[in-house]
């Protein structure tokens, strides 16, 4: 029986986090009590929050759905949480669910804010739902057509998810580009080609950019054919980015378009909700190829140290999973 006491990870100041005790009120009608089994760490947005790199003018827009506190800190932030419903509506009781909740041992949320994980999707893999949902939104923003040549620059968690979904489109040539040559193994597991920036194919119909670097975005523009398009998935926080718009950008009529998961893509906004999109992402996670993105595990008790190691670059990988159950 849950006592009402939980523990949560808070960013106390840029580069420093700690575990704090918190009291959870009983679930009311229409709510569920969830016991967390796994949570995932985003090496993109979440690391910017941990480092205190969220621009002040973006504080309201960058709030996570169940964030506590304010930027730059103390703040409880995160959005890749998989757990088991211990109290709540009969249709969800005992079910494994995904929720956009921070790193916390137990929590209570409205039942409408959790999505049941399909029985044939391993709970640990389900932490990728947020990343796959971002990839789904990107392809709704800019769907690949049969026979297209498409490159994804940046073999991080988001870029890899985009590449895997593109690989399932008939007769689309997909190349994943990254400076880290070890990501060639990941690309092979995802069923796509791999290239370093120097080897990246040119004359691409579309390039999805997800490296969160200015050099990556510049490369993305260079890879396009005439009238090609870059879909920008990176978020840079307070970092300024410069682009060579005086070169072929105008003469080749190139385009850059942003894609951001906070809103459903315009092409599907009238017919799909956020919950629909999240459910689709979980359905897509039946694909065991996504397991290659789960590259590390740490116990929740060590989360402050783990976050600091990831921020420092001493714990490389893709999706780092936090476990809450003792062996």
For the chain, what are the domain ranges?
5-130+271-323, 143-258
**Checking phi first, is residue 119 left (phi over 0); if not, alpha (psi -120 to 50) or beta?**
alpha
Strand partners, 17: 11
User: What long-range pairs does 213-216 form, CB within 8 A, spacing at least 24?
Assistant: 213/154, 214/239, 214/241, 214/242, 214/243, 216/153, 216/154
Per-residue pLDDT, 270: 96
Residue 181 has pLDDT above 80, yes or no: yes
> Which tokens go with 60?
């309201």
pLDDT category at 239 given cuts 50, 70, 90 is confident
Per-residue pLDDT, 238: 79
Per-residue pLDDT, 240: 86
CA distance 143 to 136: 9
pLDDT category at 310 given cuts 50, 70, 90 is very high
Residue 326 has pLDDT above 80, yes or no: no
In degrees to the nearest 10, what's the CA dihedral of 315, 318, 319, 321? Answer: -30
> Which tokens go with 99?
């929720």
> Which tokens go with 33?
């009590």
Mean of per-residue pLDDT scores for the chain: 95
Residues 45-55: pLDDT tens digits?
Answer: 899 999 999 99
CA distance 77 to 250: 40
> Which tokens go with 197?
């920036």
Neighbours of 95 (CB within 10 A): 18
Q: What is the mean pLDDT of residues 259-270?
A: 93
pLDDT category at 236 given cuts 50, 70, 90 is confident
Residues in contact with 82: Cβ distance below 8 Å, sequence separation at least 6, in sequence order: 36, 37, 38, 39, 96, 97, 98, 99, 117, 123, 124, 126, 127, 129
- Let me know the angle formed at the C-alpha of 245 by 221 and 249, rounded to the nearest 5 degrees: 55
Per-residue pLDDT, 204: 98
* Cα→Cα distances 249→227, 254, 285, Å: 9, 5, 37
Task: Judge: domain 143-258, CATH 3.40.50.720.
Answer: yes
Per-residue pLDDT, 327: 56
* Cα→Cα distances 290→54, 100, 128, Å: 29, 19, 8
CB 64 within 8 A of CB 110: no
Residue 195 has pLDDT above 90, yes or no: yes
Per-residue pLDDT, 1: 59
Share of the chain above pLDDT 70, in %: 99
Is 45 or 162 the better-scoring residue by pLDDT? 162
**CATH of the structural domain 5-130+271-323, one choice from 3.90.180.10, 3.40.50.720, 3.40.190.10, 2.60.40.10:** 3.90.180.10
Sheet holding 68-69, edge to edge: 16-23, 5-13, 75-76, 68-69
Q: What is the mean pLDDT of residues 68-77?
A: 96
CA distance 214 to 197: 13
């Amino acid at each position: 029986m849950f006592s009402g006491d939980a523990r949560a990870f808070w960013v106390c100041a840029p580069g420093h986090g700690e575990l704090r005790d918190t009291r959870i009120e009983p679930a009311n009608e229409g709510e569920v009590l969830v016991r967390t089994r796994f949570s995932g760490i985003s090496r993109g947005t979440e690391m910017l929050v941990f480092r205190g790199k969220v621009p002040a003018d973006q504080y309201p827009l960058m709030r996570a759905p169940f964030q506590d506190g304010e930027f730059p800190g103390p703040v409880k932030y995160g959005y890749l949480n998989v757990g088991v419903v211990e109290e709540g509506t009969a249709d969800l009781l005992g079910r494994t669910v995904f929720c956009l909740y921070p790193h916390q041992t137990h929590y209570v949320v409205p039942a409408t804010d959790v999505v049941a994980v399909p029985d044939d999707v391993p709970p640990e893999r389900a932490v990728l739902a947020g990343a796959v949902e971002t990839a789904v939104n990107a392809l709704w923003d800019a769907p690949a057509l049969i026979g297209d040549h498409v490159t994804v620059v940046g073999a991080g968690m988001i870029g890899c998810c985009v590449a895997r979904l593109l690989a399932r489109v008939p007769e689309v040539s997909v190349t994943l580009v990254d400076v880290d040559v070890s990501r060639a193994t990941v690309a092979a597991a995802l069923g796509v080609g791999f290239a370093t920036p120097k080897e990246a194919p040119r004359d691409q119909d579309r390039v999805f950019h997800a490296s969160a670097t200015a050099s990556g975005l510049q490369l993305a523009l260079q890879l396009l054919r005439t009238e090609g398009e870059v879909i920008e998935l990176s978020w840079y926080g307070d970092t300024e980015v410069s682009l060579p718009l005086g070169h072929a950008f105008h003469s080749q009529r190139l385009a850059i378009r942003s894609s951001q998961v906070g809103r459903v893509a315009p092409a599907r906004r009238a017919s799909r909700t956020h919950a629909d999109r999240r459910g689709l992402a979980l359905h897509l996670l039946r694909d065991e190829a996504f397991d290659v993105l789960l590259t590390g595990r740490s116990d929740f008790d060590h989360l402050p140290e783990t976050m600091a190691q990831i921020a420092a670059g001493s714990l490389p990988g893709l999706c780092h999973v936090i476990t809450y159950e003792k062996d």
